[in-house]
């Protein structure tokens, strides 16, 4: 299995250790969704240990995060990776991603980008 879809988010292994997740416009992200995404990463990477993984996450438009994400998911649920790049063209989405990346960046490098190309360049530099 090299790709899968979870709640409208398309996930694909693009390189040996790079997984790209693409979210559609107006997607809802809650803790149940993140648990399904977590399982998909485990299945695609064939391991619970993602410390050798580079993750590229693209948000194509607006996103909505439910309250339970910060209350239930960010507390001890983040797995270490080589790096995680979050990409959005929307300034409001990037503002939220900057806040989330500060929390996620405790376990591994996380950066927010406006350009997928810049995000890929950064991931390849790690």
Rounded average pLDDT over 59-69: 86
Rounded average pLDDT over 55-77: 78
pLDDT in tens, 2-51: 999 999 999 999 988 999 999 999 998 888 898 899 899 999 888 888 88
Q: Report the distance separating Cα 83 and Cα 55, nearest Å.
A: 6
Q: pTM of the predicted model, to two decimals?
A: 0.90
Q: What is the pLDDT of residue 25?
A: 95
Q: Report the distance separating Cα 102 and Cα 111, nearest Å.
A: 9
pLDDT in tens, 67-116: 777 665 555 557 789 999 999 999 999 998 998 888 777 888 999 999 99
Using alpha carbons, select from 101, 121, 47, 108 the residue that is nearest to residue 82. Answer: 108
| pLDDT reading at 1 higher than 60 | no
Q: What is the pLDDT of residue 77?
A: 57
Number of domains in the chain: 1
- CATH code where residue 101 lies: 3.30.750
DSSP assignment letter at 69: I
* Residue-range definition of the domain harbouring residue 41: 3-125
Q: What is the pLDDT of residue 75?
A: 56
8 A C-beta contact, residue 60 and residue 24: yes
8 A C-beta contact, residue 24 and residue 57: no
């Amino acid at each position: 299995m090299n790709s899968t879809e979870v709640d409208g988010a398309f996930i694909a292994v693009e390189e040996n250790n790079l997984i790209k997740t693409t979210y559609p416009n107006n997607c809802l992200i809650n803790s149940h969704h993140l648990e399904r995404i977590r399982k998909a990463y485990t299945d695609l990477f064939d391991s619970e240990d993602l410390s050798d993984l580079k993750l590229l996450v693209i948000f194509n438009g607006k996103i909505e995060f439910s309250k339970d994400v910060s209350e239930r998911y960010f507390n001890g649920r983040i797995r270490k990776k080589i790096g995680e790049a979050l990409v959005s063209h929307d300034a409001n989405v990037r503002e939220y991603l900057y806040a989330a990346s500060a929390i996620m960046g405790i376990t591994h490098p996380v950066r927010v980008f406006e350009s997928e190309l810049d995000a890929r360049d950064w991931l390849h530099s790690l």
